[in-house]
Structure 1
Amino acid sequence: MTVPQLIAAELRRLVATRMGRLALLALALVPLLYGGVYLWANQDPYAQLDELPVALVVDDAGDDGRVVGDEVAERLVADGAFDWHRVSAEEASAGVADATYDFSVTLPASFSADLASAAGDDPHRAVVALSTNDANSYLATTIGTQAAERIRSAVARSVGEEAASRMLLAISDIRDGLVDAHDGAATLTEGADDAASGASRLATGADALADGTGQLSTGAAALADGTGRLADGAGRLDDGLGQLEQATASLPAQTRQLADGAQQVADGDARIAAIGGEVADAVAPVAARVPEARAAIVERLQQAGLDEAQIAVALGPLDGLGDDVAAADARVQDASAQLDRLAAGAQQVADGAERLASASPQLAAGIASAADGAGDLADGAADAHEGAVRLADGAASAASGAGELATGAHALDDGLGRLDEGTAQLRDGLGDAVAQIPATTEQERAAQSSMISDPVRTDADAVASAGSYGAGLAPFFLSLAAWIGMYALMLILKPLSRRAITALRSPVRVSLAAWLIPTLIGAAQMAALLAIVGLALGFPIAHPALMLAMMVLAVATFAAIIVALNTWLGSVGQFLGLVLMVVQLVTAGGTFPWQTLPAPLAALHHALPMSYAVDGLRQLMYGGSMAAAGADALVLVAFGAGALALIVLGVARMVDHRTLRDLQPSLIG
C-alpha cells in the first residue's frame, strides 16, 4: 500500500459510521471554537470600557468659589471613557461591594483647597481616592488603577499649567519692572555723573577758598601787627604833642623833627592802608563767591536726588562758614576804611608838621589842636588795632572753615564718584537681568505653561503593531488551537495501522502516513481558523499566505511530536501531549513576556516548539522581521524532523518485534 492509500484507509475508517463522522467533525471544530470564540470575545475589550459602570463621588467643597471637583467630573462624563455614575459616597461604597459598580473614584471635600495650597505656606497634594473590589474583577481593579492615575495626571497637568501660567505672568511683570528700574537707574546714573562733576568743581572751588582765606588770615595778622604799631606810634605822638605843648621853647627844632617823624608815620600809615586795601580787595571776591558756590552746590545736590531737608543738613557747615566769611569781609572793609582815614590823618599830620616847621610862629597856636588830633589819632589807632585783631581772628576762623569745607567737598566728591560707579553698575546689572528674561506674549506664555505642565510626550514608533488587544493574543491562541486540535484528533485517529506495519514492513511509508493524516486535517483547520481571524473578526494580517504556511508548519510539527509520543509511549504519550500543552501554555510567552517567568520556566521557553510558533506568527501577522520568522520556521522544521525521525524509529521497532504493550488496548483512544 502506498502512503495515499494508507491515508485514505484511515479516513474511510473515521467516516464509516455516523458517530464517527460526528466525532471527527466535533473534534475538528475544537480548535476553531477555541481560537475563534476566544479571540472574538477578546477582540477589542478596551473599546468597550464605556460600558463599564463606575461610581464617581464628588464631595469637593471648593475653594474661593471654585469647585475643581465638579470641573473634573464634567470632563470625565463628557469624555465617556467609562459609564460614569455620579452618586453619593454611601451609594458608591455599596455599589462596589455588590458589583453594581466595578470601582469608584472619589474627589474628597478638600480637593480644591488642596490643589490651591501650592500657592500658600503649607503646600500639600490633593487626593483622588480609588475604591476597588477584586471579587468583582481583578482586571477591573487594574483598569481602575490606571483610570485613577490618568485622572491624577490630567488634574496635575491642568493645575501645573495654571501654576506655570501664573509664574510666567509674574516673571513677565518682573521683567517690566526691571525695564523700568533699568531706565530709572540710567537716569540716576546721569544725575550721579552730573553730581560727581559738580562735586569735583566744588572741591576745586573749596580749595581755592581755603587758599584765599589762608592768605586773608596771613594779611589780617600783618594788619593787626601794623595797627598795633600804629597805635603805639599814635600814643607816642599824643605824648610828644603834649610835651610839645609844654615845651614850645624848642619848637622850631622840634617841629622840624616832628615834621620828619610825622612824614614817616604818614608813609607807614599809607603802607598799612595799602595793605588793608589789598586785604579788603582779596576778601571781597571770596565773600562774593560764597552765594554763587552755595547755589551751585544746591543745584547739584538737587540733581543728585536729595530732598530739601538733606540739602539743608549738607549745607549747614557751609552756611556757617559763609556767614563767617561775610562778617570777616565786613570787618576787613571797615578796618580798611579806618586805615584809609588813618593814613589820610597821618598825612595831614605830616603836612601840618611841615607847615608847622615852615611856619613855627603859627605852630604855637595850632599845638593845642595838634594835641587834640593826636589824641583822636591815638584813639583811632587803638580802634583800628582792635578791628585788625578781630579781622585776624575772623580770618583765622574763615581759613579753618574753608579747610573743613575743602575736606568735606573732597569727601563729597569721592562719595559721589562711588555713587556714580554704583549707579552705573546698577544700570548695567539691571540691563543684564532684563536681557536674561525674554519678553513674551500672552500666546507664548500659554504655550510655555502648557509645555511646563506636560514637558514630555511619547512619540511611539512601532516596528510592528498588532492594532488591538485581540490581535495581540491571536498568534498565541492560534498556536494553542493548533496543538489542541492535534491532541483532540489523536483521541479518535489511529495513524499507525497495525496491519500496515505487519504487511508493508516499510517504516518510512507507515510513518509518513501516520504523520500526514493529522497534518492534513490540521492544515484544513488552520485555513478555516485563519479565515475566521482575518475575515470574520477582521484582524489585520500583514502576510496572509506566509502566515497560513507558518500555521500549517506549526500544526505539522505539533502533529509529528504528538504522533511520536503516541508511537513510543502509547496512552502515556497521549497524556504527555496534554502535559506539554499545559507547560507551553505558560512558557510560550503568549500574554506576558517570557522574561517575567520564573527561571526554570523561562529556560523551557527556548526548549519547546510552541514558543517559536507564537513568535513566527507574530512576525508575519504584524509585519515584523522576516528573518526572525524564517529562523522560527527553521526551528519548527527541526522539531518536526526530529519528531518524524522518532516516528520512523518507533515504527521500525514495531516492524522488527512486538511487545506485550503493543498487544494491549490503549487507555485513551
Structure 2
Amino acid sequence: MVRAELARLTATVMSRIALMALLLVPVLYGGLYLWANQDPYAGLNRVPVALVVADTGAPVTGTSSADTAHNYGDEVATQLVDDGTFQWHRVSAATARAGVADARYDFSVTIPADFSTAIASSAGSNPRQATITLTTNDTNSYLASTIGNQAAKTLREAIVAKVNKQAADRLLIGLSDVRANLVTAAAGAGRVTDGAASAGNGSVSLADGAGRLADGAGVLATGLGRLASGTGQVADAAAALSVGTGALATGTGQVADGAAQVAGGTTALSAGTVDLATGTGQVADGAAQVAAGTQSLADGAPALKAATGQAGTALANTGASLTAARSAIRTRLETAGLSPEQIQAVLAELDPVTTGLGTGGAIVTGIDGQVGLLVDSSAALSAGAAQTAAGASAAATGATTVRDKTALLAAGADKTSAGAAQSATGARSAANGAAGLATGAADVRDGASSASAGANAASAGASSLSSGAATLRDGLGVLQTGAGTLRDGLANGVTSIPDSTPEARTLQGSTIADPVALETAAVTSAGTYGAGLAPFFASLAGWIGIYALFLIVKPVSRRAITALHSPLKITLAGWLTPGLLGMVQMAALFAILAGVLKFEVHNPVGTYSMMGLAALAFAAIILALNVWLGSVGQFIGLVLMVIQLVTAGGTFPWQTLPAPLAWLHHVVPMSYAVDGIRQLMYGGNPATAWTDAGVLLLWLAGALTLAAIGVTRMTHFRTLRDLKPSLIG
C-alpha cells in the first residue's frame, strides 16, 4: 500500500513536480525565514539612522582652578559613528525630521543644544538632567523603533557611565586633596599642641615672674617714697643754710667796710679804739659763729655726699635689675609664642618705671655735684671765718696799742678788710651753694616723687601683668586641650579617607561609574538570533510540510478498505507514506540549518531524530483528523497549526501567554517538539529531551490508535458520506 501510494504520487511529471514542491515547503518556509533572520543584529550597521548634534558645549570645572570648554555632544556623536552599530548620518534637525517621515531614516537621535550644559550642571548648585530625543516612525518598521528604543537606552547608560566616571574622578581627586590638606592640618595641629604645651609652661613661669615683678615694684615704690621724704628734709636744711650764709655774707661785708674805714682814718682809729675793741669783739664772736657753722656744714657735707652716692648706686642697681627683669620677661614671652606686638604691650607697662629711675638717677647725680661744691665752699668759708676770728682777736688784743702802732693797725685793718672781703666772698659762695643744694634737693624730691608715682604705676601694671599672665596660663591650658582634640580629630579624618594613587583613582572612578558588570554564564547558547528561532521554525515547518503532503497524499486506501485488508495495516500504510516523506523534509531542512546556515548543533543525530519524530507524530495526528473528519479534519489541522504557532513558546517565553493559551502550551505536541530540539541542538539536558520525545510518542501512539479505530469503523460500516461525498469530503 505504501509502494502503491508512492507510485501514484510519482506516476506523472506533474505529480512528481507537485510532490517535490510539497516536499520543499518546509525547506522554503523554515530555511528562507531562518536565513533571513540568521543574525539580524549583525546587519544593523546597514540601518540608516539620523544623528542631530546641536550641542554648543559648556565650561566644565576640572581639578585646577581654570574651567575648560567641553562638548559632550560631539564626543558622543563621534563615539556612535566610530562604533558603527547603525549607519549613522549626521544631519540637521530639519533633514532628520523629514527623513524619518519619508522613511529615509528608520529613526533619529537628537542631542540638544544644552546637552553639555546639563551634564556640567551636576557639579554646580542647580543640577538638572540632560536629554536625548529619540524620534521613531512605526510606519517605517515597528522592530526598528523597538531596536531604536533599546539603542537609546544603551546609549543613555553609556553616557551615564562616562559622566559618572568623570564625576567620580573629580570627587576622588577632591578627596585626595582633602586628605593631603588634612594630613598637613593634623601635622600643624600637632605643632600647635606642642606649642600650646610649651606656651603653657612659659605662662606659668611668666605668672610667677610677673608676681615677683609686682612685689619688687611695690618695694621700689616704697623706697622711692622714702627717698622723696629724705630729699625734702635735705632741701629744707639747705634752704636754712642758704639764709645763714646770706646773713654771714652781709656781716663780713660790713666788717670789710669797717676795716676800710679803719685803714682810711687812723686819726679816728685812736678815738674809736674803744668802739673798735667792742666791734672787733663782736666780729670775733660772729666769726667764731661762722667758723662753727661752716665747720658743721663741712662736717655734714661728706655724709650728705655719701648719702646721695648711695642713693645713686641704689637707683643704678635698681635700673640694672629692672633691665635684667625686662630682658627675662621678653625671653619668656617669646618662648611662650607671643607675637612681637603682644610682647611690646606687656613691656610697655615697665616703661614708666624705667623712665622714673632714669630721672631719679639724673637728679641724684646733680645733687651729688652740688654737695661737692658745698664741701669746697664750706672749707673756704671755714678758713676765711678762722682768719676773721683771728684778725678780730688780734684787733681786740692790740686795741690798747693802737695808738702807738697805727701803722700796724693800718696793716691789720688792711688784712682785716681783705679777710672780711674773703669771708664775704666765701659766705656768698656758701649761700649760692646752699641755694643750689636746696634747689637740687627740691629737684631730687620732685624726681623721687615722680619715680615713686611711676613705681606705683609699675606696681599696678605688674599686678595687671600678673593677673593677665595667670589668665594666659589658664587660656593656654584650654588651648592645649582644644589643640589636642583638633589634632586627634584631624588624624581620625585622615584615617577615614583612604590614601590613593592616580592609578587607583582611575580604577575607582571606573568602578563607581559602572559598579556592576554582567558576566554571562550560559548553561547553553544558541549563538545567533536565527539559531535561537531554529527549533521553533523547524517544528512549525514540520507541521506545515505534513499538512501540505496530505493535500495530495490519501489518508487511507479506499481500495484496501474495500478489499477488507487489516485496519492496522491500512492505518500504518496511511501514516508511513506522509511520515517517511516528512522525515525526508526534515532531513533537507536539517541540511540547510547545519550545512548552509552553519548553525551550531551540539547533537546532530539527536536533533535530527527529534525533528523526524516530530514529523511522524504530526503525520499521525493529521491522519487521524482526516480519517475521522475528512476534509474538515484537514481544516482543523490548519487551525491546530495556528494554535500551536502562538502556544509553543518559540519566540517569547510561554509564561507571557494568557492563562488559557499557557494551559494549551502544556498540551499541544509542538511545544514538546520545540523544547526537545532546543535541548539537543544547544547541548541542554538529555533527560528533558527524552521526556519531550516520550510525549511526542504518546501523541503518535494516541493518534495512530484513533486512526486505526476510524479505519476499523470504515471497514465495517458505510456512511452516506462514504457513498456520496460532500463538496469538502
Q: Kindly tell me: are residues 61 and 332 of structure 1, through their superposed partners in 2, closer, same or farther at Cα, counting changes over 3 Å? A: closer
Which of 154, 157, 175 matches 2:158? 154
Residue 644 of structure 1: how far off its partner (Å): 2.5
- 1:419 is the counterpart of 2:479: yes
> Residues 360-509 of structure 1 correspond to what in structure 2 (within 5 A)?
395-435=455-495, 436-441=497-502, 443-504=503-564, 506-509=566-569
Residue 70 of structure 1: how far off its partner (Å): 3.6
Residue 324 of structure 1: how far off its partner (Å): 3.9
Helix, strand or coil for the counterpart of 1:500? Answer: helix
Q: Which residue of 1 aligns with 2:334?
A: 299
- What are the superposed Cα offsets for residues 59-92 of structure 1, whole Å, 9 maximum, x if unpaired? 3334466544344333333332222223332322
Residue 407 of structure 1: how far off its partner (Å): 0.9
> Residues 186-197 of structure 1 correspond to what in structure 2 (within 5 A)?
186-197=190-201
Q: Kindly tell me: are residues 79 and 329 of structure 1, through their superposed partners in 2, closer, same or farther at Cα, counting changes over 3 Å? A: same
Cα distance in structure 2, aligned partners of 1:174 and 1:149: 36
Compute the TM-score of the two structures, normalised by the length of structure 2. Answer: 0.73
> Any conservation in 2 of the 1:220–1:279 contact (CA below 8 Å)?
no
- What are the superposed Cα offsets for residues 295-335 of structure 1, whole Å, 9 maximum, x if unpaired? 2155236x45x3xxxx435643542x313433565688899
> Any conservation in 1 of the 2:367–2:437 contact (CA below 8 Å)?
no
> Residues 520-559 of structure 1 correspond to what in structure 2 (within 5 A)?
520-559=580-619
Which of 132, 135, 138 matches 2:139? 135
Q: Kindly tell me: are residues 109 and 332 of structure 1, through their superposed partners in 2, closer, same or farther at Cα, counting changes over 3 Å? A: closer
> Any conservation in 2 of the 1:619–1:629 contact (CA below 8 Å)?
yes
- What are the superposed Cα offsets for residues 474-518 of structure 1, whole Å, 9 maximum, x if unpaired? 000000011111211222222323443454464433333332222
> Residues 11-26 of structure 1 correspond to what in structure 2 (within 5 A)?
11-26=6-21
Q: Which residue of 2 aligns with 1:257?
A: none
State the AA in 2 paired with 1:560. Answer: A
Helix, strand or coil for the counterpart of 1:491? Answer: coil
- What are the superposed Cα offsets for residues 162-200 of structure 1, whole Å, 9 maximum, x if unpaired? 333344334444444444444444444444444333323
> Any conservation in 2 of the 1:287–1:329 contact (CA below 8 Å)?
no
State the AA in 2 paired with 1:48. Answer: G
Cα distance in structure 1, aligned partners of 2:435 and 2:144: 133
Which stretch has the larger CA shift, 470-479 or 159-168?
159-168
State the AA in 2 paired with 1:292. Answer: S
Q: Kindly tell me: are residues 410 and 591 of structure 1, through their superposed partners in 2, closer, same or farther at Cα, counting changes over 3 Å? A: same
Please identify the structure whose Cα radius of gyration is greater: 2
Cα distance in structure 1, aligned partners of 2:98 and 2:362: 115
Residue 390 of structure 1: how far off its partner (Å): 6.8
Cα distance in structure 1, aligned partners of 2:514 and 2:116: 21
Residue 634 of structure 1: how far off its partner (Å): 1.9
> Any conservation in 2 of the 1:570–1:666 contact (CA below 8 Å)?
no
Helix, strand or coil for the counterpart of 1:621? Answer: helix
- 1:88 is the counterpart of 2:89: no
- 1:325 is the counterpart of 2:360: no
Residue 456 of structure 1: how far off its partner (Å): 2.6
Q: Which residue of 2 aligns with 1:61?
A: 56
Cα distance in structure 1, aligned partners of 2:439 and 2:85: 122
> Any conservation in 2 of the 1:613–1:632 contact (CA below 8 Å)?
yes
Residue 568 of structure 1: how far off its partner (Å): 2.4
Residue 225 of structure 1: how far off its partner (Å): 9.5
Name the % identity. Answer: 54
Q: Give the gaps of 5 or more residues in structure 2.
A: 60-68, 240-303, 370-426
- What are the superposed Cα offsets for residues 576-601 of structure 1, whole Å, 9 maximum, x if unpaired? 11111101101111111111112221
Q: Which residue of 2 aligns with 1:102?
A: 106
State the AA in 2 paired with 1:26. Answer: A
Q: Kindly tell me: are residues 58 and 398 of structure 1, through their superposed partners in 2, closer, same or farther at Cα, counting changes over 3 Å? A: closer
State the AA in 2 paired with 1:47. Answer: A
Residue 411 of structure 1: how far off its partner (Å): 1.6
Cα distance in structure 2, aligned partners of 1:666 and 1:29: 31
> Any conservation in 2 of the 1:212–1:282 contact (CA below 8 Å)?
no
Compute the TM-score of the two structures, normalised by the length of structure 1. Answer: 0.79
Cα distance in structure 2, aligned partners of 1:385 and 1:55: 109
Q: Which residue of 1 aligns with 2:122?
A: 118
Q: Give the gaps of 5 or more residues in structure 1.
A: 1-5, 236-268, 342-368
Which stretch has the larger CA shift, 82-91 or 189-198?
189-198
Q: Kindly tell me: are residues 222 and 652 of structure 1, through their superposed partners in 2, closer, same or farther at Cα, counting changes over 3 Å? A: farther
Q: Which residue of 2 aligns with 1:581?
A: 641
Helix, strand or coil for the counterpart of 1:145? Answer: helix
Helix, strand or coil for the counterpart of 2:55? Answer: coil
- 1:78 is the counterpart of 2:82: yes
Helix, strand or coil for the counterpart of 1:105? Answer: strand
> Any conservation in 1 of the 2:353–2:451 contact (CA below 8 Å)?
no
> Any conservation in 2 of the 1:318–1:405 contact (CA below 8 Å)?
no
Which of 629, 642, 650 matches 2:702? 642
Q: Kindly tell me: are residues 316 and 63 of structure 1, through their superposed partners in 2, closer, same or farther at Cα, counting changes over 3 Å? A: closer
Q: Kindly tell me: are residues 558 and 205 of structure 1, through their superposed partners in 2, closer, same or farther at Cα, counting changes over 3 Å? A: same
